[in-house]
Chain A
Amino acid sequence: MSHEKPILEHPEVPTLFDVQEMELNFGPQHPSTHGVLRLVLKVDGEKILEARPEIGYLHRGTEKLFETQTYPMGIPHTDRMDYTAAATNNHAFCLTIEKLLNLEIPRRAQLIRVILDELQRLASHLVWLGTSGIDLGAVTPFWYCFREREQILDFFEEYCGARLTLNCMRIGGLPFDLTPGWTERLSEFVDDLPARIDDYEQLLTENRIWKRRTIGVGVISGEECIERGLTGPVLRGSGVEWDLRRAQPYECYEELDFVIPTRKNGDTYDRYIVRVQEMRQSVRILRQCLDRLEPGEIRGKVPRVIKPPAEEVYASIESPKGELGFYCVSNGSNRPYRLHCRPPSFINLQALPRLAKGHLISDLVALIGTIDIVLGEVDR
């Protein structure tokens, strides 16, 4: 009979050997997407055939907001981009406008800025270490990391009153001087830190399961990192010694003595090691800055109304996540004509589909962790 077709010719009925792809919605409400990242996955069993990031859930039009407000009013908006590292965001923003204005920053302000930056780097890396441990099922390091991060936030709170959205820098310098006793307490904390970092490493670095979960996962070569514009620990984990603190020194980084940790393999484990080493280097930088700190001005000669000349500048700093830059177009008024941000998270996230392909779902959470994105910065 004509209507009886053999089953195999029926397109809807898969045969035993067809690969049945399943589309899986990963996020935006998923515990391991570090915010509101949504990934549309095509999976064969648990193997990822394709991962497509869908971003924009946290889009607030920050770049447009910059245009509607005066230059100093832009600083609080930067707090809300990478909300685990507000100080470095403030710093990059201020640095851009200062470059536009050709301002000199007093030495004390430079040193305090570097201290705040490095504290922020520590805080950001601690959040990263804790959460990426949880992603791979190691819950305990999270609590240790957050214990220390909490102390860092206390230092911020004492300095500027805020713990997360710091708003702790001003164009031309800093809003406040340090409170009395702050440096002494900080140097105590800094002396404590290396032993605490040893604790985290004790739990993870030589752990067999941790190594198996991270070595060889998400390998990316140095050349490819450069092609894709990846920066920060991701780039350094692939063997490229590139750190803006050394490559284009800003503030007083030139005179500070630190090492840029790099690793060769470009896998998740190497990125882990690089970040942990960076934390140790931050401790060194903090010590040096604390030693050099002397009384002085904290704010340069800034005009009351900031009206930069009609120019275009780009300035960038090494944020905990990579190169954080601002590109500012000024038309001579007191508001930026256009202020574009180069967020490291957004650009590093581009590598995720390439990294995830062929790995398992379990590796995907490791990979989201290892590129260290913050969705506030990705979506802006």
Chain B
Amino acid sequence: MNEKNLILDVKNLVVRYETEDGIVNAVNGLDLQIEKGKAIGLVGETGAGKTTTALSLLRLIPKPPGVEKCDFMELDELNMLDLSVKELEKVRGKDISMIFQDPMTALNPVFTVGDQIAESIHLHEDVSYIEAQKLAVGMLELVGIPGERANEYPHQFSGGMKQRVVIAIALACHPKLLIADEPTTALDVTIQAQVLELMKNLRKKYKTSLIMITHDLGIVAEICDEVAVMYSGNIVEKGTLEDVFNRTKHPYTEGLFNSLPNINDRKSMLTPIKGIMPDPTNLPEGCPFNSRCPYAGEDCAHPQVNRQISDTHYVRCSAYDRPGFHINRKER
């Protein structure tokens, strides 16, 4: 698989949380491969396991109560599963970094924004703290914040600007892979556009690979090259933008597209997906989408496997074993 020049290669990731109320199966045998320089959107509802997957990639799952199992996890050919704590600390922030959802709480209120950026630089690059602070000012300017503000505290910034600071921290050491967990969900729509624009430009500049976690298909279309749709702890469909948007295969993905309001057809009713995601402490055997799927059949009660549609596109749905099966959504 190395001819593909992967930045991330994960095979069979399983994460569960053992709590007093039961075992929460958050991620169930996930495979993920990302090519260098590409941006992949990780789409799914709340509870699908997107954030857990991201935290697991950074090895930040709290243990207890978390329990992780993985066959294979390599970041640019570095085996993540074998690293010691110290080695992991070196990798975090330098080779792989993460932006979290809520900018309001992501920054430490008692340190200046300049210091928080400089800390990352000072940790990973071989420069003095003064140098790091200068570089931090540079990063601030890069994300569109005047450098003089480096000595100000987080509470003196608006939500959108705080998120820019968070981006500055994450990109300060030019990581190879950036994971962005719903970075614009907590922001106004206009600010959202600005932040996305900023992320696009920085990606281009530093050639950073990106995992964009979101529930918003619009953002995926804006900024990503590939899409992976997650449901109940696993990827049910993955392909290029073209593949997934125009040649949708999985019934769940179809349901997601159908539930988007159609601006051209104001009179039509919204068609949400019936039912709710299965209880992660009590997952059914077989396909987790079974109870909500309009195409459910007998084969759905059996454990599902990935089915390759094309070089770039696969779907996890046993219905495609049935002769002549196709979903209603038309190909474009």
> Do A and B come from the same complex?
no
Q: Which residues of B contact A (CB under 8 A)?
A: none
Q: Which residues of A contact B (CB under 8 A)?
A: none
